[in-house]
A and B are shown apart, each in its own frame.
Chain A
Amino acid sequence: MTATSPLLSFSGIDVVFPGGGTAAVTALKNISLDIKAGEFVSLIGPSGCGKSTLLRVAADLIGPSAGVVRIDGRPPDEMRRQREIGFVFQDAALLEWRRILANVALPLELQGVARDERLARARALLDLVGIAGFENAWPRQLSGGMRQRAAIARAMSTSPRVMLMDEPFGALDQITRDRLNLELSRIAEREAMTVVFVTHSIQEAVFLSDRVVVMTPRPGRITRVIDVDLPHPRQLDMRGTERFIELCQLGERLLSEGFDDSAH
């Protein structure tokens, strides 16, 4: 692998769901996208445009009907088996029957990492995501935001090369969401994480990302990729700057154009 080659690449991806009685659904049509190591890329688009499907293809949760996905030059199932993929779902999906520390340590436990080592790593991660002190809480005792923090820590536990996040903050209130955005942005920068992040909020996408990929539905495809040339590290008050507002307006226009297209 040369330095310029992408860490995560989709080329010519189609995903067709057999309708099973009804007509088949083409969720993705000819998607090509290259993501460099350390890059933060957001996917945005109306419901049903295939954002989740694209992430699921990258995580080997579904196979594409056509096209090739490569992570560091290797197929996703191989990278998944090597624990090089982290996935954060909209629902934190913590195991109710495990305390928070054991939840965060789960992927390491499945990998066979020794108990002391994995618990130490899980503690460090709880600290990193800002919920140190809740090691022994049951998941149901945590707020939605804290549960999502735990889910992020869990996804980070095996130090995956690629982090896939499907509307992780979609169910949170605005203030919690802002805080988590800021912290995620810090963590991603510090850990040089490669992130693909799905969201419905153009502000969230612009705030977090190096690039925002705008998608349209029926069939799901990429309309435009916005380069976000805001400086790092990102600060919440950046959202008042002219450039930030400009980028958001561009995103919104592209999104509504996507709607017009599909209405024809």
Chain B
Amino acid sequence: MTAHTDAMSGMRMGLANALAAAMPCLITTVIVLVAWEVAVEVTGVPAYIIPAPSRIWAALISGNASLGYHTAITAFEALAGFVIGSAFGALLGIVFAYSPLVARSLMPYVIASNTIPVVAIAPIIMLWFGSGIGAKVAVTAFLSFFPLALNMMKGLQSYDRTVMEVFHVAAATPLQRFFKMRLPSALPYVFVGLKLNVTFSVIGAIVSEFVQSDRGLGFVIMTAYRTLNMPRLWAAMLASALLGILLFVLVAAAERWLIPWHSSMRDNS
């Protein structure tokens, strides 16, 4: 049996397993939705308290002031900020890993900045960057920056000491050490950071839209709240959750593709 057929059957197994694993959750979802719809119908709870799933769905797909447009705006803000913040965070992490002095000087700020709530920092950043989309991107970039710097640093320090000695005996150059050993060892950590960041970046984008905006899911949520349009509010909530899940799945797919040795190892355990 070759490793190739192993991988193929592994993939088929993976799909079947994923379906089997998702089944209980799917069934529960259907049951909950039906019960919810019936309960709203029977008790006559007004829609501004709890809207029925059918009304949320209608609000979700209604063509008028389409949620799709606002979701796309928020998705762009989240994704752009995530990419920019993660890229700069990765660079800072590399500097930290190679210069303990810089790491020691800046680490307290990095840790402190991680504890600042996004609702507190968003208005400040938006004062600097204006009220456009760029300002929201800046907020989400800020959120991604430090977590990735920390994970990149930890990852670059996580290499196996014996493997380092193998590279030494083989007379590897510093660049070879970085690209062929330390960076690959760091990737699992980097993806831990990226998966956290991608979820937070959706939150960051929405929160900064709360502060000031005329489009995006945060804007929809605020206006729906003010006008007590609950089905639309719930639909926006659902859209933001789906957006978060979608971005997370994209990062997870990138992880599987980039570090197959690692993600498949976790499957087996």
- Residues on A lying within 8 angstroms of B by beta carbon are 59-61, 80-83, 85-87, 89, 91, 93, 95-99, 106-107, 109-111, 133-138, 140-141, 154, 158
Contact = CB atoms under 8 A, between A and B. Distances in A.
Interface residues of B, number: 27
B247 interface: no
Contact of A141 (B3, B184, B185): B3
A80 B184 CA distance: 24
A93 B162 CA distance: 6
B7 to A, nearest CB: 9
Given A97-B184, A97-B259, A61 B168 contact: yes
Q: Which of A82, A89, A99, A134 has the most CB of B within 10 A?
A: A89
Contacts of B166: 87, 89, 93, 106, 154
B171 A96 contact: no
Contacts of B162: 89, 91, 93
B184 A95 contact: yes
A102 B10 CA distance: 22
B176 interface: yes
B165 interface: yes
A59 to B, nearest CB: 5
- B interface SS class: helix
B167 A97 contact: no
A60 B163 CA distance: 15
B184 A110 contact: no
Q: Which 3 A-B pairs have the closest CB atoms?
A: A136-B3, A93-B162, A107-B170
B43 interface: no
Given A136-B3, A141-B3, A95 B169 contact: no
B28 interface: no
A9 B50 CA distance: 85
B261 A87 contact: no
28 contacts: A59-B169, A61-B165, A61-B169, A80-B169, A83-B170, A83-B171, A85-B169, A86-B169, A87-B166, A89-B165, A93-B162, A93-B163, A93-B166, A96-B261, A97-B185, A99-B3, A109-B180, A110-B167, A110-B173, A110-B176, A110-B180, A111-B170, A134-B3, A136-B3, A136-B4, A137-B3, A140-B261, A141-B6
Interface in B136-189: 160, 162-163, 165-173, 176, 180-181, 184-185, 187
B171 A110 contact: yes
B262 interface: yes
B2 interface: yes
Interface in B222-269: 259, 261-262, 264-265
A140 B267 CA distance: 13
Interface string B1-25: 0111010000000000000000000
Nearest to B260: A138
Contacts of B187: 97
A83 B6 CA distance: 35
A154 B167 CA distance: 11
Contacts of B181: 95
A133 B3 CA distance: 9
Contacts of A86: 169
A80 B261 contact: no
B45 to A, nearest CB: 54
Given A96-B261, A97-B261, A106-B170, 13 more contacts: A80-B168, A80-B171, A87-B165, A89-B165, A89-B166, A93-B166, A95-B184, A110-B176, A111-B170, A133-B2, A135-B3, A136-B3, A141-B3
A76 to B, nearest CB: 10
A154 B4 CA distance: 23
Contact of B262 (A82, A89, A97, A136): A97
B172 A110 contact: yes
Contacts of A110: 167, 170-173, 176, 180
Given A97-B262, A110-B176, A81 B3 contact: no
Contacts of A109: 180
Contacts of A111: 170-171
B169 A93 contact: no
Given A80-B171, A110-B172, A110-B176, A138 B261 contact: yes
